[in-house]
Structure 1
C-alpha cells in the first residue's frame, strides 16, 4: 500500500517562510509508519502549480492520502483531496491538523472527497488506520479510535484516543525528509518541536483544545541527540524551537542547557515563551547554551485587553521578563495583537508605553482573528457575531474581528514604534561588558557583540570578539564562521579561506562554508576549485541558490 502524507498552501501563505513549510506532525507520522514497515512518503506541494501537483500525484498513485489542514489552507486542502480522488478514485483521503480536527463534522457533511478526519494527535490513529486498510481493505473506519468518519449517511465520531505519554518513543523524522517531494531540507530541519500542549488558555488559540491542557515533553537527552544528528548529517548550526512555551518545565530547560554546554554542541537557537515562565537564572543558562533570542506573546499593554484575550499575565510581568531577558543579553522579540473588540485609543497608548518601557529588539503585530477550536469563535457564534458555517462559506484565509479604521491605524503605530525602539535599544559595548560580567564567557555574547561592531564599522573590535571564541573554544565553528565572513568582506581572501576550511573540519556537512569557499575561489580566478566547492555545496543542499548562481557565473 502506497501512503502519501501531504500539505499544500497557496497565495500569501505559500510565500510565507513559516506557513509554506511542511507541518512537523506529518513527518512524525511518516517516521512511525516507516518504522512499522509501511511505504510512506512526504510531499509539500506548496511550491508547485496545481498542474504540477496533479502530475506528481499521478506519479505517486497513492492508496492512502493524509493531508494536513489549517485554516489558511483549508480550501487548498480540499482541492488537493479532490485531485487525489481524481488520480486514483479508490484512494482513501484522510485529513488531520487543527482546522480539520475542529471542523470534522462540517468537512464530512459537505465534502465527499474527505473520507475521514484524524482528531488531534495523529501518529497512533493514522498507524491504526493504515494497518486496518492494509490488513483488510475494509473502508469502514468506525472501529478506529480518534477518528471522525462516515457510516453510510451517518457521521460517526469514534471514542477519543489517549495522548502519547512518552514522546521520546516516537522515531526521529529526519530521514523522512530525504526523499520528500517539495521539501527545502535546510529550512525544514531548522524547526524543532520538543513538547505538546500549552498551560495557557488564551481565547484566540486552539492549541489547548487540540493537544489538551496537560503538557508532555521530550527529554533533554532526546532533543540534544536530535540536534547533534542534524548538525552532523546536514550541517545546521542554528535552530528554532517552536514549542508554544519552551520554558514551561524549568528543570527540563536547565538540563537541556547543561547538556548543550557540557557536550560542546556549539549551536545557536531561539525559542518562544510566556513572560510568566522565565527567570534570570534560566535565561542565563539558555544564553550560555547558545540561545540568542526569546519571543514572548505580550499581545497588549492594557490590562483590560489582556483579560479579554484570556492571557492571564499582567503588564508588570511583561516588564519583569523583558528586563531579565535584556540583562542576560538575549534578543527580546514580542508578539502583539490589535483590533480587539472594545479596544480603544487608551488601550493602544498603554501598549505603546509598554513598548517604550521594555525595549524590544523586534516584534510582530497581528489583527485579532478567530479560528475554529477557540473560545473566541465559540463565543462569537453564540452571540450572533457570525454564523457557525463561517469557515465553509467564506474563502478568506483569516477572519479578523474588526475591520474599522482603528485597526489599520493601531497596527501602523505599533509597527512604527517597534521599529524606532529597536533602532534605539540595540545592545552596546557597555551592555556586552555587563553581560560578560554576569554570565562569564559564552559564544553567543561574543557573536552578538562582534556583529554590532561590524555594523558600526569597527572591524578591529569585531575581530577581537570572534578571536576570543576560537581561542577559548577552538572546536566552536561559530567563531571561525564569523572570522571567515569578516575577512571575506574585507577582501582578505587567504585568511577567509583558512577560516572556512576550519569550519568544514569541524562540521563537514556545512553547506554555507562550501558556498563561501566557492565564492572566494571564484573571486581569485580559481575556477576549477570554485566549481568543486559549489558542487559540494549542492550535494549537501540540493538547489542551493548561491551555489547555482556561482556555477552560472563560471560558465560566462
Structure 2
C-alpha cells in the first residue's frame, strides 16, 4: 500500500496578478504531515507533494502522480483550493481510474457528504480528524468505506456517512509530523517576514479545537472541544526540530495556545530549564493575559504574541464574538510590550452589520493601540462557520469558492459596496504602516530580524514588479 498526499495550491490570492505571498510566508501542511506520520508508523508508505512549495502545471503534476504509482491519493483542501484539487483528481481518474481518491480538510468537513453527489471523481471523504480514519480506510478499501466512522462514501449513488469519528483523546499518542516528506523543508518554508528573529523557522500545532464560538470561525474539523499536547511532548517536538532541521524559531499555530494556563506554565518551565535554543510566537486571547503569564512567556523565549481583536466597534464585537472592553485591550497589549515582546493585532473588515462608520472606528482604534504590526483579513463566510446559515440575509454573498480565501470581498454587508470595502481596507493598511513609529520599528529589524531584511531585499525585484503591475 502506497499513499500520496497532495496539498493543492488554489490560492487566487487577489483574484488576479502573480502570487508572491509564498516568497514571504509559507508554512508546511501540518495536517497532511500528521496523517502521513501516523500511516508510516503503521507500515504504510507515504509521499507528499506540496504545491505551494513546488508549484507545477496540472499536466506535470498528474504525470508525476502517475509515475509514482500510488494506490491512494489524498487531498487536503481549503474552500479556495477545493476546485483545483478536484480538477487534479479528475485528471488522475482519466489517466489511472484504479487510483483511489480521498478528500479531507476544512472544505470537505464543512460541506460534508453532499460533495460526493456532485463531484464524481472523489471516491471518499475523511470527515473530522484524519489520522485514525485515513488509516482504517486505506487498510479496508475492499469494504467501500462502510462502517468506518468519519468516512464519507456512496450508497446507492448518494453520499452518506456511517458515524462521526470520536476525537483522539490523547494527542501525545500521535507521532511528530512527517517533515521529512517535504524535500525542501525547512529551506523553502518561512514564517511571515519580520515576525521572527532567526531562521530557519517553521510552524507547529500543539492543540486542537477551541472552546469559544465566534460567529465567523469554522470549527468543522476539530469542533469546539479543546485537547492539547503535554508540555513534555511539545519540548521534545522542539528538540527534534532543532536537532534534525536546525530550526531556531517556531510559531505555535494553535487557535489558542494559552487556553490551559497550567500547561503553558509547565511548558515555559521545562523550556527554560532545557535552555532550548528555539524562540517562538504564539496566539493568545486577551482574557488569558496577565503580567505573570507574560513574564513566563518572555523568560521561555516568546518573541511575539498575536491577538485576535477583529474590530474596534463594541456593537460589532458583541454580535460576533465574546465581548471584551476596548480599554482593557489597550492595557493588556501594553503589558506585552512592557514585558519585552512584540505585539501583533489581527483584524477583520466586512463583517455582517459593519458600516463605513464602524470600520473607520476600527481603523482609528487600531492606530491608538500599542501594536507593532497588524494583519487585516477580508471577512469570508466559510461553510462551517455559524453565521453561514443566514449570511445571505445579511448582505450580498458571491459564493465563489476559489476566491474564498480572506483576501477577496466575496461578502458585502447591507448598505455597503465592494468598492467602498476595498477603499477602507486599503486605507486601514496605509494609515497603520505609514507612521514614523512603525517605520522605526521596522528599522530596528535590521538587527532584530536580519534574515527578514535579507529576504526582503533579495526579492525586491518581484515586489517592485508586482507594485508596478497593480498600478497599471
TM-score range, shorter chain: 0.7 to 0.9
The answer to whether the 8 A contact 1:7-1:68 is kept is: yes
Work out whether residues 186 and 236 of structure 1, in 8 Å CA contact, stay in contact via their aligned partners in 2.
no
Match of 1:114 among 122, 126, 140: 122
Tell me the equivalent position of 2:189: 187
Of 385, 396, 415, 2:403 maps to 396
Distance across 2 between alignment mates of 1:5 and 1:295: 31
Q: Does 1:226 align with 2:237?
A: yes
Matched, 1:48 2:42: no
Tell me the TM-score normalised to structure 2 length: 0.84
List runs of 5+ in structure 1 lacking aligned partners.
428-447, 456-461, 463-477, 490-511, 513-543, 546-556
Structure 1 distance, partners of 2:215, 2:410, is: 14
Q: Contact (CA 8 Å) 2:282, 2:304: kept in 1 or not?
A: yes
Q: Is the 8 A contact 1:125 1:146 kept in 2?
A: yes
Tell me by how many angstroms 1:183 deviates.
5.6
Deviation string, structure 1 residues 391-424 (Cα, Å, up to 9, x no partner): 5x66534463214333122212221232145725
Number of the residue aligned with 2:194: none
Residues of 2 paired with 1:90 and 1:368: CA distance? 40
Structure 2 contact 9–81 (Cα < 8 Å) conserved: yes
Pairing 1:155–2:159 present = yes
C-alpha distance in 2 between matches for 1:75 and 1:339: 25
Q: How big is the shift at 1:310?
A: 2.3
Q: Is the 8 A contact 1:149 1:155 kept in 2?
A: yes
SS of the residue aligned with 1:211?
Answer: coil
Is the alpha carbon distance of 1:181 and 1:106 closer, same or farther for their aligned partners in structure 2, counting shifts above 3 Å? farther
Q: Which residue of 2 aligns with 1:177?
A: 179
Q: In structure 1, which of residues 168, 172, 177 is the aligned counterpart of residue 172 of structure 2? A: 168
1:65–1:94 Cα contact (<8 Å) kept: yes
Inter-partner Cα distance in structure 2 for 1:310 and 1:206:
13
Q: Distance in 2 between matches of 1:350 and 1:57?
A: 51
In the TM superposition, what are the counterparts of 1:264-303 in structure 2 within 5 Å? 264-303=275-314
CA offsets 1:396-453 (integer angstroms, 9 cap, x no match): 34463214333122212221232145725967xxxxxxxxxxxxxxxxxxxx9xx83x
Rounded to whole Å, the distance in 1 between the matches of 2:211 and 2:266 is 21
CA distance 1:293–1:274, change in 2 (3 Å):
same
Instruction: Indicate the structure with greater helix content.
Output: 1
Relative to 1, partners in 2 of residues 1:401 and 1:332: Cα closer, same or farther, differing over 3 Å? same
Whole-angstrom CA distance in 2 between matches of 1:286 and 1:421: 29
Which of 33, 39, 52 is the equivalent residue of 1:33? 39
Are 2:348 and 1:343 aligned? no
Q: Are the aligned partners of 1:360 and 1:425 in contact in 2 as well (CA < 8 Å)? A: no
**How far off is 1:15 after superposition?**
4.3
**Superposed CA offset, 1:507-538 (max 9, x none):** xxxxx9xxxxxxxxxxxxxxxxxxxxxxxxxx
8 Å Cα contact 2:380-2:404 kept in structure 1: no
Q: How far apart are the structure 2 equivalents of 1:362 and 1:101?
A: 33
Deviations 1:114-136 (A, max 9, x none): 01111111111111111213xxx
- The offset of 1:58, in angstroms, is 1.5
Please show how residues 293-442 of structure 1 align to structure 2 within 5 Å: 293-381=304-392, 383=393, 391=399, 395-398=402-405, 400-402=410-412, 403-420=417-434, 423=437
Quote the offset at 1:186 in angstroms. Answer: 5.7
What is the CA-CA distance between 1:352 and the residue it aligns to? 3.0
1:126 aligns with 2:128: no
C-alpha displacement at 1:302, in angstroms?
A: 0.6
Query: What is the RMSD computed on CA atoms of the aligned residues?
Result: 3.0
Query: Secondary structure, in 3 states, of the residue corresponding to 1:103?
Result: helix
CA separation of 1:184/1:108 partners in 2, compared to 1, >3 Å: closer, same or farther? farther
SS at match of 1:306: helix
What residue in structure 2 maps to residue 261 of structure 1?
Answer: 272
Distance 2:385 2:373 in 1: 27
- Report the TM-score, using the length of structure 1 for normalisation: 0.72
**Residues 356-375 of structure 1 deviation map (CA, whole Å, 9 limit, x = unaligned):** 33221000112211111011
Residue pair 1:94, 1:117 contacting (<8 A) in 2 also: yes
The answer as to whether partners of 1:338 and 1:368 remain within 8 angstroms in 2 is yes
SS in 1 for 2:83: helix
Q: 1:386 to 1:247 in 2, by over 3 A?
A: same
The secondary structure found in structure 1 opposite 2:140 is helix
Q: Which has the larger radius of gyration?
A: 1
> Per chain length, whose mean CA-contact separation is higher, i.e. which structure has more relative contact order (CA < 8 Å, sep 6+)?
2
Alpha-carbon distance in structure 1 between the residues aligned to 2:241 and 2:295: 25
Matched, 1:100 2:108: yes
